Amino acid sequence: MNYVRKKLNYNYASNKHITGKGVTIAVMDTGIYQHSDFENRIIGFKDLINNRVGIYDDNSHGTHVSGICAGSGWLSNGKYAGMAPGCNIVMIKILDENGNGESTSVTEGINWILRNRQRYNIRLLNISVGTLPRTGADEKSAIIESVEDAWDKGIVVVAAAGNSGPAGYTITTPGISRKVITVGSSDDGQQDAFGRVKMNYSGRGPTLSCICKPDIVAPGMNITSCNAMNFRDGKAYSVKSGTSMSTPIVTGAIALLLEKYPDMGTRDVKIRIKERAENLGLPRNRQGWGALDIEHLLSD
């Protein structure tokens, strides 16, 4: 994350003391571990898989994603701090220990978020999971209707483009939604440090309904973030790659934006993302509007 923040001109946010304070990000994933880097900022947890009450993560993917969004970097002396280290996290566990889940869990999770958004001041929803669409009718699926309902009710939904590129039509659901902000990886032209992610993996548009996607790209390779330390390795941090990592980078950046401009609505945020992206000169269905840049996003 130290490399990512430097690449994204994060010093602007640091110098202005913008941390995402007062903003809550809902994350739908495998759960979350009570890592020291989250301090007391995990303010809500809902388990739709095992119906457990206590906070936990039996896979670590959700902890890693949440660390990118909101980790303080306390155990690494700030080296692996996330994008919005002052924001709050609400975790909705919709995936099991193997990272698998049902579409009904997504819709149930979004319904829970909508019922509790005022209680927790939820402004953002991060979805770093997805499935490949099979037919054009997927745009009218229950998942898409759910995320667009959340969007229409004022929650900025940020979804992964998926890791099935580089062919076209490989954006995953719910990233195919024309409303939500869909995130691809800006650095997928290199090998994962462990050789576990193929090159040029980031999902590419258009969608089966001929919508240009993704909307924006951010780094996703070899991202060091919080680890669920209940696993045998016992390590505080781990390295993962994919659009699952690119997505919370953008989500965290939007949390910074909403701290600075708390009255922004979903449409305002998306327009801002579009206007302030850095054009990489790549095809639209690979880069979207361009790459995330924190200084350009936040500056007046």
Predicted local distance difference test score (pLDDT) of residue 195: 59
- pLDDT range class, residue 26, cuts 50, 70, 90: very high
Predicted local distance difference test score (pLDDT) of residue 238: 94
Whole-number percent of the chain with pLDDT over 70: 94
Predicted local distance difference test score (pLDDT) of residue 39: 95
Mean pLDDT of 35-57: 96
Q: Which of 61, 128, 164, 186 is catalytic?
A: 61
Of residues 171, 168, 149, the one with CA closest to residue 159: 171
Three-state SS for the chain is CHHHHHHCCCHHHHHCCCCCCCCEEEEEECECCCCHHHCCCEEEEEECCCCCCCCCECCCHHHHHHHHHHCCCHHHCCCCCCCCCCCEEEEEECCCCCCCCCHHHHHHHHHHHHHHHHHHCEEEEEECCCECCCCHHHHHCHHHHHHHHHHHCCCEEEEECCCCCCCCCCCCECCCCCCCEEEEECCCCCCCCCCCCCCCCCCCCCCCCCCCCCCEEECCCCEEEECCCCCCCCCCEEEECCHHHHHHHHHHHHHHHHHHCCCCCHHHHHHHHHHHCECCCCCHHHHCCCECCHHHHHCC
- pLDDT range class, residue 30, cuts 50, 70, 90: very high
Residue 80 has pLDDT above 60, yes or no: yes
Is 244 part of the annotated catalytic residue set?
A: yes
pLDDT tens, residue by residue, 149-158: 999 999 999 9
> Would you give the distance in Å from CA 64 to the centre of its chain?
11
Mean pLDDT of 218-239: 89
Distance separating alpha carbons of residues 158 and 182, to the nearest angstrom: 6
Mean pLDDT of 205-218: 95
pLDDT tens, residue by residue, 258-276: 999 999 999 999 999 999 9
Predicted local distance difference test score (pLDDT) of residue 162: 95
- Which residues partner with 218 through β-bridges? 185
Tokens matching residue 61 = 């993917």
How many other C-beta atoms lie within 10 A of the C-beta of residue 107? 19
Lowest model confidence (mean pLDDT) among 36-50, 72-86, 230-244 = 230-244
Q: Which of 57, 244, 246, 293 is catalytic?
A: 244
Q: What average pLDDT does the structure give for the chain?
A: 93
Predicted local distance difference test score (pLDDT) of residue 139: 66
Predicted local distance difference test score (pLDDT) of residue 128: 96
